[in-house]
Amino acid sequence: MLREGYESYRRYVNPLVALRAELLGEPTRITAVRDGRLVEPRGEVEDFHGTQTFGHRHPAITQAVSDFLASDSPNWFPCRVNPYAGLLAQRLCERSARTLEGSRPAYSNVFFANSGSGAVEAAFKLARAATGRPRVISLDGAYHGCTMGSCALMKPGMFKDPFGPHVPAAGPIPFGDVDALVAALREGDVAAVVLEPIQLEGGVRAVSSAFLEAACELTAKHGALLVADEIQTGLGRTGRFLASERWPRRPDALILGKHLGGGLVPISAMLTSEQLFERAYGEHYASAEAHNTTFGGSALVCVAALAALELLTDELIARVAEVGDRFRGRLAAALARHELFVQVKGAGLLVGIELRPSDHPWLSFEHFGIDALVDQPTIGVLLCHRLYRRGFYCFACGHDWRILRVLPRFTIEEATLDAFVRAVDEELEYLCNLT
């Protein structure tokens, strides 16, 4: 069935993605999962994409889902009063409250969606409905997903240009530019400022503490919502439960996704406060579902998320911080000798390897006959291509192809990370020698 399905994917789903995977030598013939890794004919693959925090098909999460399917519980509740969603929402609020410093009010209201962009959309609409204002601001280099609201928050480029006209009064200001933020908020029409604590697709770029301080203070002063998109940084990835937990003030809305469902099921969440929910939707019960989605927070996905949260212990998150520090240190030390290496970036196990584009004509997309990409650097994808042959799956950042994004599972053995450091070192040497 799998073999036939791969061919059907090429034919019926996305021929260009299939072609790209083939050209780059990505693992396209996966036959099984073993101990959290992918198995393909060439051997095992360690997946650094980041959705599989506990490795592929973690037994505890798989078991929880199997137990649920074997039970006699409904999955979907027609009245929407769903005990599984209730429990998961409570756990998320309690868990985030435990990590928030001092006397800050905790999150107390949760909306469940089926994708990251679905949760971004929920925050976008919450902000407009709660403030009655139109404008939603993001930062240049942001990636918030592909729905029309999320897309409007992106900078011009392939993710945005084909889809205009865009949602009005939404879009980025220059990255980290406090003056631009001050000017925008002064207009009095801003409903929300949406930030990723560390932009992943933007090139593993952290917002500066000066910008964060200004964003926290000025959004409060001007009555705009501060929204943290923690789809990549949340749930332990940076060595903290939330990357925003030490921000000068708690964001008014927090977005979680990706591995919230344990890498097994699609679920995302937007956490906010009862007060904001009330302001946006609390007029009467008919407006309470003005924004909703049919399968958001169904029992099955909540069961998986509850099992994943159980696995995400404080000890595991502390391990992410420690192992991540050592990993980034070893990478930086090993790669420093290469002309094509610039720096290692990130926090915890959210890691970026910044490369210097080669100006050698043989290493250009023009040379490979791919004219559509002549303005893009090849170095990131060439290194990925070499790493796939060594059993490591990583990728270049969507908005900045010079930077490799490396997001290992939290349970990864340090010996595997050391093997990755050796592989990057050797393959970068190979590419340096080519030039």
Ligand X SMILES: Cc1ncc(COP(=O)(O)O)c(C=O)c1O
Nearer to ligand X, 36 or 116 (CB): 116
Specify the residue for token string 């000017």: 183
Nearer to ligand X, 117 or 358 (CB): 117
Assign 281 to helix, strand or coil. Answer: helix
Tell me how far apart the alpha carbons of residues 22 and 40 are, in angstroms, rounded to a whole number.
14
Cβ atoms of 144 and 120 closer than 8 Å = yes
Task: Compute the least distance from the CB of residue 257 to ligand X, in Å.
Answer: 5
Tell me how far apart the alpha carbons of residues 180 and 175 are, in angstroms, rounded to a whole number.
9
Q: Whose CB is nearest to ligand X?
A: 116
Task: Compute the least distance from the CB of residue 416 to ligand X, in Å.
Answer: 24
Tell me how far apart the alpha carbons of residues 127 and 276 are, in angstroms, rounded to a whole number.
9
Cβ atoms of 111 and 204 closer than 8 Å = no
Task: Compute the least distance from the CB of residue 31 to ligand X, in Å.
Answer: 26
Assign 310 to helix, strand or coil. Answer: helix
Nearer to ligand X, 196 or 427 (CB): 196
Nearer to ligand X, 116 or 324 (CB): 116
Instruction: Name the percent of the chain in helix, strand, coil, to the closest 5.
Output: 45, 15, 40
Task: Compute the least distance from the CB of residue 121 to ligand X, in Å.
Answer: 9
Task: Compute the least distance from the CB of residue 230 to ligand X, in Å.
Answer: 8
Closest CA to 231 of 202, 190, 259, 250: 259
Task: Compute the least distance from the CB of residue 103 to ligand X, in Å.
Answer: 29
Cβ atoms of 99 and 246 closer than 8 Å = no
What does the binding site for ligand X look like in residue numbers (CB under 6 A)?
A: 115-117, 120, 143-145, 196, 200, 229, 231-232, 257
Longest C-alpha distance within the chain, in Å? 68
Nearer to ligand X, 231 or 301 (CB): 231
Nearer to ligand X, 144 or 345 (CB): 144
Tell me how far apart the alpha carbons of residues 223 and 318 are, in angstroms, rounded to a whole number.
35
